[in-house]
Amino acid sequence: MSYTQPAALLFDLDGTLVDTAPDLAQATNALRTHHGLAPLPYATIRPQVSNGGSALVELALGLAPTHADHDEARRFLLEVYGRDVAQHSRVFPGLEPLLTAWDSAHRPWGIVTNKPRAYAAPLVEALNLTHGVLLAADDLPLKKPDPAPLLEAARRLGIAPGDCWYIGDHLRDMQAARAAGMQAIAVRYGYIGDEEAPSTWPVDRWFETPESLTQALWPGENDMAVHSG
């Protein structure tokens, strides 16, 4: 099965483009320490990172979003995280050559994330990511899985949605991509928890590693077709 190479790339942020789990895990364990609890193993925290601050509070303290103390705990966690969002976070190794090649060829790409702008923008800036568009959780009234942010990103890039790949590591990413009429591209190296069923996601294509995604999208300057392996 062959795939036409996209005119533009749109990435989810956490778990797809950038490995933010180390800094978010550090903030999660700071919350536990604040409450006199022992740190959780990194492997326990990592799969929950894409689910946001509320999920990390529930993991850390067992406080559901409806609990009276949940909001205060979430504020503490995000305050700790916000002090340095890029202390340990890095672009996933293997994606740098793709971004470099895409930028050098002046091909459009961007980021659509459910991360609030207060954390997404400083992170992207610290990592010197030269994106064409960044849409964060609070930029529009709707966020993923609604397709509105993806459609707005494509509009700002001047690219038809059908000519875009949206790349993510969560069910909501694939739902948003499908609803937007984009190719829904999922990555297994992201933050996928054991409780999830990715085989049921509406995915057009999976990539196991950052390197395989890079190779598919940039196999050579004269090869403008992407073929499944």
Residues assigned a catalytic role: 12, 14
Nearest-angstrom CA–CA distance, 101 and 81: 31
C-alpha–C-alpha distance, residues 168 and 51, integer Å: 13
For residues 92 and 19, is the Cβ–Cβ distance under 8 A? Answer: yes
What torsion, rounded to 10 degrees, do the Cα atoms 204, 207, 208, 210 define? -150
- State the greatest distance between any 2 C-alpha atoms of the chain, in Å, as a whole number: 59
Query: Cα(22)–Cα(89) distance, rounded to whole angstroms?
Result: 6
Quickly list DSSP for 179-193.
HHTSEEEEETTS---
Cβ-based neighbours of 194, under 8 Å, separated by 6 or more: 47
For 70-208, list the strands marked E by DSSP: 90-91, 109-112, 133-135, 164-168, 183-187, 205-207
